[in-house]
Structure 1
Amino acid sequence: MCSEASVPLIMSSPLPQTDSHVELTLLAGGSFTATANFLHAGAAATPFTMFNWAFHISHPSGRQIVWDVGNTSNPDDYTPWVRQHMFPLGPFAPPEPIEQQIKRRTGVPPEGVDTVIFSHAHWDHCRPIRALFPRATGYFGPGTAEFCGAGHFSATGEELADVPWDGNFFHPEHRTESWEALRGPWKRFGPFERAMDFLGDGTMWVIQAPGHMGGNLACAVRIEGGEWVLLASDCCHSRGLLEGKYDIATWCNPDGSQGALHVDIPAAKDTMAKLRVLRGMGVHLALAHDVSWVEEGTDPVLMGLLDQDLKEWVEEGLKTGRLP
């Protein structure tokens, strides 16, 4: 068991001042079945519905940005590794394709999206976007390509099932996707040392958030009314972990190595501690797989992002299992 009280003192700066804001739209990114023992140390292997959030960000300049793209039920969207290891978990598409959600709720057609930022390269956040958003450029955090290597196009035969990373992004010769690594400049945002003022007016900060995998990102946006929302993606997988009720689960892999949902657990814990600092500064935290705020209805800012369709989607998913 870990405790917030044990977190060391973290230096922080005030949040940026700006009179501008973006429009933030919450999107259903699909779901799949997970078990609690892969999230929380000491938990039973209790199955539950792992929801997946994505976001659309609209800037007054006309920029249209998607943060993560969620998952689908179409095996053709994924690598052989995902099809073999993740599809037994039953990845379920959202009730409406993500590009159609954006068009219905904001009026922005798929060809109007100019940017897709991937919080990281895992299958439930990242997949090829050329067919989804034909005019968009993708962006990853620094170090993502180095971490992922050339992807599955570099493997053949049975080895294909050992390579999770998508060669459509990362193969130097055969990639199909247009993307770039974020280059900064990097400045401090609250407790985080490296953040990028992505739109140049202080309304959207893309943050390097180490721990989960190489190049992992979070994003802070200022919405109408002056509130800040942090799109924390997989920096933390549950509110119980964030609040110190549980510790990060680890397990022994068949080859004897330690497995975990984070490749660098000390760095992930440091990132979680910084999330808690931001929460103490009044920032509203939206974790990619957390729906506790929907169940409790206690955060009016996050609840303001929730339309009736999304609420019903969560309620229906919870019928088949919730995180203990």
Structure 2
Amino acid sequence: MPSANTDMSLPLPKPDQVYVTVSALDGGHLTLPEHLFVTDADPNRRVTVPSLSFLIRHPSRGSEPSTRLLFDLGMKRNPEEFPPLMQTHIRNRQPTILYPDVGDSLRAGGLDPAEIEMVILSHVHWDHVGTPPDFSKAQFLVGAGTLHLLRHGAGPHYPAEIFIPDLLPEKRTQEFPPANTPTADPELGEVIPECVHATQRSSHTWQPLGPFASAIDLFADGSVYVIDSPGHMIGHINLLARVSETNWVYLGGDCCHDSRILNKIKDIALYDDERGGKRSVHVHTAEARETLRRVQKLVDGINQTATESGSNERVEVVIAHDGEWREKNRSRFFPGSL
């Protein structure tokens, strides 16, 4: 049985608890210079990594239909659709592998992309946005500030010229409301522009959950939680899915780019920002560290409680670019499951 509930633990299952099925999807590959992402790296080492996507199937309840949800869309099938400045950046991430993309991976498992009802993007970096027109009936949900970012950019490192302003279908896209997650450093805290129309902001409400200051119970049944995960990019969010009575899956997006950081073996790399200072691959490094600390606290807390109580409760964290996880878990890709 799951461990007893505490302030830092996750909710116990209800008698009629709903569980979801999570399946990994191939969404292409890109190549990263390792020294830009982890400390103490070989400056010449380049690693080709996946851009993982995930299919979450929420079962029907009474008169409510089932929902097929995608978290992230991986690589865009036609990168030429990006503006020239972004295409220059992509040329520095070669080799890239664009097939199979998420649509291909769904079809290989017997599911038409047009059957997807919901898409949630962890953030809108080029290697996570995929090809939205493939999902012609889906409602898109993104973190607060994302629509402003796509239209106007955000500072010198993320100018408007690298984004596609009409990337997402306007009539089928909503932002989650701004969260109340406290910042690790008030001077670095994100400022979410109030620029979306009322019809473009969802009615969801953030509440604390375990070590996380802000979470949304997406289906209002404790099966899938949207986690506010600031730091990497404006609007960055993660998902926490309940897959059985004792098992959870935490989809970490780009909370870090290497599992050694998550496991506290390595740290987030800092490098010259070409303006006399240091930066990381995260827009707010202090915020990214705080998000990572909360994820680690979730894992450590559940492991400790399980050890002390003898329970089987566990949480598996999967980040978007973990090539080692992909190679070890091929049977868990759709139509398989985690």
Task: Name the TM-score, length of structure 2 as normaliser.
Answer: 0.75
Q: 2:119 aligns with which of 110, 116, 120?
A: 116
Q: 2:250 aligns with which of 216, 227, 230?
A: 230
Q: 1:147 to 1:90 in 2, by over 3 A?
A: same
Gaps of 5+ in 1: 1-10, 153-159, 311-324
Residue 278 of structure 2 is matched in structure 1 by 258
Cα offset, 1:293, TM superposition: 3.4
Q: 1:206·1:219 contact (CA, 8 Å) conserved in 2?
A: yes
Q: 2:8 aligns with which of 7, 12, 16?
A: 12
Q: Determine if the alignment matches structure 1 residue 214 to structure 2 residue 208.
A: no
Counterparts of residues 155-234 of structure 1 (less than 5 Å): 163-169=161-167, 178-183=172-177, 184-224=204-244, 226-234=246-254
Distance in 2 (alpha carbons) for counterparts of 1:303 and 1:188: 34
Q: Determine if the alignment matches structure 1 residue 65 to structure 2 residue 61.
A: no
Cα offset, 1:56, TM superposition: 0.8
Residue 52 of structure 1 is matched in structure 2 by 51
Q: 1:86 to 1:294 in 2, by over 3 A?
A: closer
Residue 319 of structure 1 is matched in structure 2 by none
Residue 103 of structure 1 is matched in structure 2 by 107
List, as ranges, runs of 4+ consecutive aligned residues in structure 1 with deviation greater than 6 Å: 307-310
SS in 2 for 1:180: strand
Cα offset, 1:291, TM superposition: 2.8
Cα offset, 1:203, TM superposition: 0.6
Residue 321 of structure 2 is matched in structure 1 by 289
Q: 1:31·1:50 contact (CA, 8 Å) conserved in 2?
A: yes
Q: 1:80·1:161 contact (CA, 8 Å) conserved in 2?
A: no
Cα offset, 1:190, TM superposition: 1.6
Amino acid at match of 1:238: D
Amino acid at match of 1:52: S
Q: Percent identical across equivalent pairs? A: 27
Residue 306 of structure 2 is matched in structure 1 by none
Q: 2:106·2:112 contact (CA, 8 Å) conserved in 1?
A: yes
Q: 1:16 to 1:192 in 2, by over 3 A?
A: farther
Cα offset, 1:58, TM superposition: 1.1
Amino acid at match of 1:110: P
Q: 1:19-56: per-residue Cα shift (whole Å, max 9, x none)?
A: 21111110011111111101113322211112211001
Residue 147 of structure 2 is matched in structure 1 by 145
SS in 1 for 2:132: coil
SS in 2 for 1:66: strand
Residue 78 of structure 1 is matched in structure 2 by 82
Q: 1:257 to 1:126 in 2, by over 3 A?
A: farther
Distance in 2 (alpha carbons) for counterparts of 1:248 and 1:309: 32
Q: Determine if the alignment matches structure 1 residue 274 to structure 2 residue 294.
A: yes
SS in 2 for 1:64: strand
Q: 1:72·1:92 contact (CA, 8 Å) conserved in 2?
A: no
Alignment root-mean-square deviation, CA: 2.8
Residue 91 of structure 2 is matched in structure 1 by 87
Distance in 2 (alpha carbons) for counterparts of 1:84 and 1:193: 38
Q: 1:177 to 1:69 in 2, by over 3 A?
A: farther
Distance in 2 (alpha carbons) for counterparts of 1:51 and 1:127: 13
Amino acid at match of 2:140: G
Gaps of 5+ in 2: 1-6, 61-65, 178-203, 303-313
Q: 1:265 to 1:253 in 2, by over 3 A?
A: closer
Q: 1:269-322: per-residue Cα shift (whole Å, max 9, x none)?
A: 111111112222121000111133355x5xxxx676247999xxxxxxxxxxxx
Cα offset, 1:161, TM superposition: 8.2
Q: 1:120 to 1:221 in 2, by over 3 A?
A: same
Q: 1:16·1:202 contact (CA, 8 Å) conserved in 2?
A: no
